[in-house]
Amino acid sequence: MKNKRTAHIISHSHWDREWYMSFEKHRYYLVKLIDELLELFQKEPDFKSFHLDGQTILLEDYLEIRPEKREELKKAISEKKLHIGPWYVLQDAFLTSSESNIRNLLYGLRDAKEFGSVSKLGYFPDTFGIYGQAPQLLKQAKIETAAFGRGVKPTGFNNTVEDAKNFESPFSELKWESPDGSSILGILFANWYSNGNEVPEDEKDALSFWNTKIEQAMKYAATPHLLFMNGCDHQPVQHNLPAAILTAKKLFPDIDFVHASFDDYLKNLKASLPNELQTITGELRNQRTDGWSTLVNTASARIYLKQMNQECQALLEKAAEPLSVMAHLVGFEYPSHFLNYAWKTLMKNHPHDSICGCSVDEVHREMVSRFEKVLQITEMIVQEKGKEIASRIDTRIDNDSKTCIPIVIFNGSGSKREEVITKEVELEKIYFSEMDFQQIPAYFAGKSMPELEVSDSMGIAVPSVYHDKGIRFGYDLPSDGFRRPYFARIAELTFLAENVPQIGYKTYYVNQSENPAQFKQIDIMNHDREMENDFVHIKIHEDGSYTLTNKKSEKTYECLGIYENTGDIGNEYMFKNTLDSLPLTTKGLKAQIKVLENNSLRARVEMIHKWVIPKSADQAFEKEKRMLVWHKNRKASRSAETATIQIRTIMTLDQTSRGPSFQAFIENQAKDHRIRVLFPTNIQTDSHHADSVFEIVKRKNSPEIEWENPSFDHHQQGFVSMSDERKGLTIANKGLHEYEIIEENKTIALTLLRSVSELGDWGDFSAPEAQCLGENEAEWMVIPHSGDVITSESYHLAYQFQAPLTMIQTDLHHGELPKDNHFLEWNGPSLAMSTFKMAEEGDHVITRWFNTSDEKVDLKVNMPLVKQGFASNIIEEKLEVLQSNNIEIDLKPFEIKTVAWTH
């Protein structure tokens, strides 16, 4: 029968590694699940397949407990009974970096290959919205279909699917297109990924079940092929499913019920698709819903996790990997084993219930330990590879002196840097083997601090200041001997590093000089409340806000930096303001203002607010939580009792900086509230830009007509920007992923802290540590510019704000490398470079750029130490041969381009 319907029943269990229970408690049940599956595959030939949630990490988790099951597990996968991949973890898409999303796919595909088979389905069952470039990434990975539950259709309490007047697609099947035009088939779990869960075997129950389920599936199906997901969160396997399917076949002879895999389902579905499907372009963010269940505020739950993640990602992507490639190109081993370990450990924190901060406290305490492990191993890689490269640099100078100390500044960010750098240098060290360690401090105390001068590789002095940091214990760990303890005299140097290569290094020298070079000293602060360099002028007001003038465009921004506080009776997933009060602000609240540093290179000002706010929500809130009142229906107020919180803000302006940077230290003594910093731009525009995954996305300031939530928050990666054709203001950040555009004064509101008390979702799960009591930190930068963030290339400055430069102290020695050197040079307007690494397989270098604009761009690249370039893709295949090591290629609008290099 040509139009006979087929019910494809896919067994699965959506497996959050850690969520409402700790990882180990969830794993206990995972091991039982896979044990039962392997036994079922052997005993029940009609139980044909099981989809293992699209993430290969579950194999690692299982085999750590059951290593003896490896071959049996591998057999089930190779026979396509157990379907795995393509991801390593089911990550949150918006809160992990561009490169993290690719590594997640690379590691998942590699692990799946080891086990014999991979599910070529972009699986996003419960991801809290998806970035717009996902179709392009999947297409480059030769994955033509994605399946997802969120981003198009609203969900409510306990993930129940809700109806609404308008959807972005009338069908479960749709075309999903990236900004570059890449298009894949999208499968929306319109009735959620549990619509075929617990199929009854009893005829009476089955009749009722299937009558309802078939009607619901047909409502959104564009073909006769109906999808039923037989599973849910941590769902045990349904052993009697073959018998339940026989019951269904008996009751509904006009429908073909099959126990299917996604491979089977997609093959049949694609053969039956209509010629026209609805096309959805770009981000999936639930914009055509009431706005109450987007889960966007996971971007601000437990911000400390996001900050640690940003630090780990930046150190891996912009320091450890680039320095490892540089070292490899000059003859050293690439530490792939350590980098693999670091990436996998980091990605264990990337699942959507982990990095989102929406789990119980035990989960997030374990995450902090993982982040610390990543930082420790990555810092070791950076230091070792930096020292290896430095050992090959000819650091000798004409007037060699024992008091001349070479320091090498490494840049792996992909863009040329001009920065004021502050680093500590060991001026002199004495080993315990050279002097009784008890006498060394007295020896140093008897010597005055020498006059210091910093010069570049040409011997030209550069502006610098220094401070004596006293003596400090240290030790060397020689490769051929026992540890060597010492005391060292430490100086903190601040100096100007100019034209540090995009991927490369510059060598500077710290000299002890009786007559150091003199520079014209024009302090950045010319008044105790005013800062100025060549680019901006800043006037600080009594309440700690400031007026910022872009000297080039002469545009002035008034009253920046006010703090805002509101109640929050939501949960880790969603913000919900109390109904009883307007936001509190620090406008007019006098701050204690103190100048911490002021010279020609840098000025720093401290501003302290002591702010009285409500201590918590009132007692009605506790009752609402215990009664599982859905967050949008809560009506609690803020308490009459107050608490004093202190916010210590340090504003810094460097000589070369295009705008001020900020550190805020928030001593949080209150609960159930949110703190944001406000930037009224008064730029008349209906849209803005935000940094996303491989995209600077343009978003509307106001929501769609279906939106009811008074809050309209958004995700960001590195920055958010408001601009018109003439002027703009960009706010860069470190791990602050949530912002909102407030219509009044076209204000950018950046979330610094959100204090909540519960997990939320389907039950009563207390999470007191999500209140984030005690000291919290936040960092951001304010960048005024002409034009928008792309045409002004201010996005480079925002990316640099997140990416560390590395300094390695070395000694005077012979070497084959020049004092200043680049390993790669490139240019191309509107382009951004995202990676410089070695391939996961094979001995070739991988570089990647993406086009931030809607116009074609010419990319020119020179790699002096390689032989040949190849066009590649995100899975690092060698495709078209390019010109030798000096290439010129086009990037289409919004295209992601990978180039592989042999050497």
User: Which residues are annotated as catalytic?
Assistant: 126
Judge contact between 509 and 407, C-beta under 8 A: yes
Which residue, 245, 270, 238, is CA-closest to 11? 238
Query: Which residues, in sequence order, are CB contacts of 345 under 8 Å at separation 6+?
Result: 370, 373, 374, 377
Distance CA 106, CA 358 (A): 26
Distance CA 435, CA 645 (A): 50
Which residue, 511, 474, 490, 496, is CA-closest to 424? 490
Query: Which residues, in sequence order, are CB contacts of 459 under 8 Å at separation 6+?
Result: 397, 398, 509
Distance CA 751, CA 772 (A): 14
Which residue, 711, 702, 360, is CA-closest to 570? 711
Judge contact between 733 and 676, C-beta under 8 A: no
Distance CA 715, CA 747 (A): 16
Which residue, 624, 617, 622, is CA-closest to 641? 617
Provide the angle, in degrees to the nearest 10, between the axes of the packed helices 57-65 and 23-43: 90
DSSP H helices, 686-810, are: 794-802
Which residue, 898, 628, 604, 579, is CA-closest to 765? 628
Distance CA 85, CA 55 (A): 5
For residue 608, the SS3 value is: strand
| Residues, the chain | 903
Distance CA 76, CA 750 (A): 49
SS (H, E, C) 303-365: HHHHHHHHHHHHHHHHHHHHHHHHHHHCCCCCCHHHHHHHHHHHHCCCECCCCCCCCCHHHHH
| Torsions phi, psi for 24 (to 5 deg) | -65, -35
The token pair that represents 79 in the structure block? 């026979």
For residue 374, the SS3 value is: helix
Q: Measuring CA to CA, how many Å separate 664 from each of 562, 648, 667, 779, 801?
A: 12, 6, 10, 6, 16
Distance CA 595, CA 524 (A): 11
Q: Which helix H or strand E contains 530, and what residues bound it? A: strand 530-532
